[in-house]
Chain A
Amino acid sequence: MTDVLQACHQDLLLKLLRDMVHIRSLEERCAQLYGETKIRGFLHLYIGEEAVAAGAVNALEPGDALVATYREHGHALVRGVSAEAIMAEMFGKSAGCSRGRGGSMHLFDAEQRLYGGNAIVAGGLPLAVGLALADKMQGRKRVTACFFGEGAMAEGAFHEAMNLAALWQLPVLFCCENNLYAMGTALARSESQVLLTVKAASYNINTRSVDGMDVVAVHSQTRKALARIRAGHGPCFIEYQTYRFRAHSMFDPELYRDKAEVEQWKQRGPIHGFSARLKEAGLLTEEVFLNLEAEAGDEIDRAVQFAEAADWESIEDCFADVCTPPEHTA
């Protein structure tokens, strides 16, 4: 175990830890702000799943594209969207990363090539296929990473997108975050084949499954898959086995799972586990860890202050951006 850590650059390890702590800090504050009615609508928290976004998104190159789901705050943050822009978006303010038009489920950022949180389950998959098709047709060596939950694998769009990507050998990384529940429906209650890699492999593509609670494993497996795609071997599928510690959304009474099961998974918490390993390996002290947490808290404090102070878009501007204004059309 320690050998694996030693093989990685210490800066990277600390970056992975830092990103997970920042996501956790952001998500906990979101829950609080939701209670205070600052954030409205649907809010899906990533607490428990941080290792997937931190490990996988850090493996991407700057030019790669990212297509995410409605549980995408962590992905946006790791990709480089500022906490201020994310928080302002959730407040619905015009300084948000989608000008306040999207909210929690629709974080976009053209500069980071983040093509959105998508609130249609599996809605992002065909989009990712098209982005990759454009890259291939234009001879660009970029990859499109597409995140979705295991629930999306029951949708027709999953099958159509997998088939197209495999058929046309497109540079797509299909990232399945298997947290075992599609809202409240357990995997075994919705899928005839619960081995997700087997299901994906039917499209004749490279698949792998990885412990999604282990940020280093996530990172290294993702890197391997990306290298394969960049080498021109077509799309890959990765299943990240993970678990969300909190409810599906802010209004989920969690009647469908046992509290003991949640507690059991919490023992394997990604931040707790990884920081313990780093300490054991002599790569982290408690003091440094507390500093990381404090830094994250400060960053989120600043983001909340920014969002509070930001302006609302005027109602007169409501119709902007439904269509491109005529002066910008060719």
Chain B
Amino acid sequence: MAVPRLTLKTTFVVAAALVALFQLAAVTLASLPPNRYSDAAAPHTTYLSPMFTQNWRLFAPNPIAEDRRILFQGSYRAADGTQKQTEWVDWTDVELDLIHHRLIGGRAGYVTNKLFSPLGARYGKLLDAQRHVAVTTEEKDPPSWSELSKSLLAAGPSRPDSTEVYLRYERATIRLATEVLQARWPERTFVAVRYSLNRQRVTPYDARHGSKEEREAARAREIQRLGGWRMPEVGSAAEERVIADFYRRHR
């Protein structure tokens, strides 16, 4: 077997091929579902994230089988001095205007769709006592973010990381909620806002041949998870303007 002599060319080619080979192995192991080999190699494949993150589930193992919606509600001071609640604004429905009956859907049509899972998952990682704190805040006097953070940590001091990540998603969602509500009712001054994550299973496979009404009746009841009341979180004027414009064009 002829082995090429060691030259600049062979050194470069061998080095480049080894790098490529390592990448091939790392991508292979990271792209497969969890297994003992991928788990063993995991410490050596962390470099793949975020540029080469391998997540190719593509509607697997279980394809999405429910409608997911994020709705927002505000509490505002009425002219008579009392505090009143607005009706719910279904922001997912507004975004879906970019998808329905469009061959090429708008990318903004999936924003709340993609927010839904991580927002729910971060809440799910809180301890039971922390979840209780998160959802039982007062509508009349919602906590500031630092007060909420302190209360959450007091309820579950062993989970500072999950609390911090939960608050990050919570705060982002509340900021969107505030701007959406302000776009819907620009004349109102909001005292508190909250969101709701609604999910409803699609019509069961065996009930697919029914009429539209029968198919709708065969669906399981919608499940709602209410977030706690939070102080309104406002962004820049430009941010508010863009969200108000988006709402106007797609409501």
Q: Do A and B bind each other?
A: no
